Structure 1
Amino acid sequence: MFVFVTIIFVFVAYTISIKFVYYRYSQVWPHLRNKISTPLNTVGNASFCPTRERSSALLRNSEEDEPRVTAGETRALLVTAHPDDECMFFAPTVLKLVESQATVYLLCLSTGNYSNQGLQRKRELLDSCAVLGIPSDHVTIIDDKELPDDPAVQWSTALISSLTLKHIRNYSISVWEERMQTGKKKVGVLTFDGSGVSGHANHIAIYVALRHLASAGRLPEGCQILSLHSISLLRKYVSVLELPVSWLLPSDFCCIIGWEEYKHAKKAMLCHRSQLLWFRQLYILFSRYMLVNTFQAITVETKNVKIY
């Protein structure tokens, strides 16, 4: 009887704590969004000249069609490795930013052609982005033989860096001083951390490249990079029960979604029909990343680092 009462008490207490997290989060979300709007670190403003120009993007990648920037506008660039990363790992962030009327761009560095399904996966990615609220003309998919969907292949740090920097500039993620004299720059680049969430080598390669960009002082002044926290296997698959833990642990940027938004995240995942194996179905049900994202800012001292 004592054990039963204890279990009930713990369950009630945990339920209350989850409700408290949602209540507090709804109050502090405007402040949390300022984490992506106000750079935590400033790096150099040296020009970056890649050795080769890549023009294999599937969608919008034109410097002539430069986007307009309005004062106070929040603009975020999400950099991923494969189609389905955007919803499998970053859905809460995208949904919260879109809900708050931020402009979100996606740079996907491969077509996900590991099983020769690249064309289908491109279409699935666009469908998923439509559900999440990212317009198709804000999506760029890179199809380059040097960036294959293959964890056994080491992706080029220089190539990832040049592609990312090109899109930061094309989407005016950091070009603001001439156009936003009256407002603060509100920007952010979102990607994986050094563990890549799932440990995938392609995910980690993106983090390594962007960290090198920051270390070498190649990013435009004030451009901030936020990396998605990788967590333990136990925390990863306890779904909503993980929320109080994420709330209590320190982070630089946090996004939490509720039931209605979760249904959008699930719908986006279901767009990736070619990837819906049985373990992906379980992932949709139990993964913490379907409900909450926490990020750490990449803060490094500016150094003269060569990118190879």
Structure 2
Amino acid sequence: MVHTHLPRALFLNDSNNGGSAKTRNVLLVVAHADDESMFFTPTINYLTSRGHNIHILCLSNGDADGKGNTRKEELYQASAILKVPYQHVKILDHPDLQDGFGKLWITIYWQRLLKRKSKFLLASSQRKVEAWELVSTNIFRKYSGPVDIWFFKLYSMQCSNKMLHCLVNQQPRKSFLAMAQHASQWVWFRKLFVAFSSCTYVNTLRKMK
């Protein structure tokens, strides 16, 4: 796995003193079932290859078209492809966090949910919690595919004081296999998205303060 990082940014298996790193509990928060496959496969592959315990919290069961139960099962199947255990996947069906166009999520609800889940992981690990976010890019980089790896290197040279990491997906085929488990969503334009999206090939993460 190619792992490009900046000197000031320590990410999970990195170590300040050169010693061996310990296994971490990692909570990946996504809005919808299929986001984990479309956007975060490079991160998930990186973490599983290093033995970290990944938990996925999906904030909506995707019931906008009455397919909530189907999409839940699809997420479990995709998680299996990504080597995330079934019992580590939590899918919410909260009345204030429903999927669909025009639906507005009140920030305070999902913030409370994240706080409760983070407390559980913190109690399990007895370590300080770190938060990382996926860096948004312009539309050109978004659909530049693997070329975005080189754009990140140029970008990082200009932002040496930022805590950034570039996680490159050495198994991009797994993105397609995982997304294909979401059969109800695996339509032609999503196939094109996965093929050309930079998120299939690389995730640029920023440490949140």
Segments of structure 2 that go 5 or more residues without pairing to the other structure are: 15-20, 157-162
**Matched residues in 2 for 1:173 and 1:153: separation?**
31
User: Are 1:162 and 2:72 counterparts?
Assistant: no
User: Are 1:294 and 2:195 counterparts?
Assistant: no
Query: How many corresponding residue pairs?
Result: 196
**Matched residues in 1 for 2:206 and 2:183: separation?**
31
Contact 2:13 / 2:50 at 8 angstroms: preserved in 1? no
Contact 1:87 / 1:268 at 8 angstroms: preserved in 2? yes
* Identity of matched residues, %: 30
Q: Calculate the TM-score normalised by the size of structure 2.
A: 0.85
CA distances 1:152-180 after superposition (whole Å, capped 9, x unpaired): 2221222111211111122x246544xxx
Q: Post-superposition shift, 1:116?
A: 1.2
1:236 to 123, 142, 146: 142
Q: Partner of 1:270 in structure 2?
A: 180
Q: Partner of 2:41 in structure 1?
A: 91
For 1:35, what is the secondary structure of its paired residue?
coil
Q: Partner of 2:93 in structure 1?
A: 143
**Matched residues in 2 for 1:271 and 1:173: separation?**
31
Q: Which stretch shows the higher mean deviation, 246-255 or 99-108?
A: 246-255
Q: Partner of 2:192 in structure 1?
A: 282
Q: Partner of 1:100 in structure 2?
A: 50
**Matched residues in 2 for 1:72 and 1:296: separation?**
21
For 1:264, what is the secondary structure of its paired residue?
helix
1:257 to 169, 182, 194: 169
Contact 1:112 / 1:149 at 8 angstroms: preserved in 2? yes
Over the aligned positions, Cα root-mean-square deviation in angstroms equals 2.3
CA distances 1:203-260 after superposition (whole Å, capped 9, x unpaired): xxxxxxxxxxxxxxxxxxx3221110111111111211221012332352221012xx
Equivalent residues in 2 for 1:187-198, closer than 5 Å: none
Contact 1:32 / 1:253 at 8 angstroms: preserved in 2? no
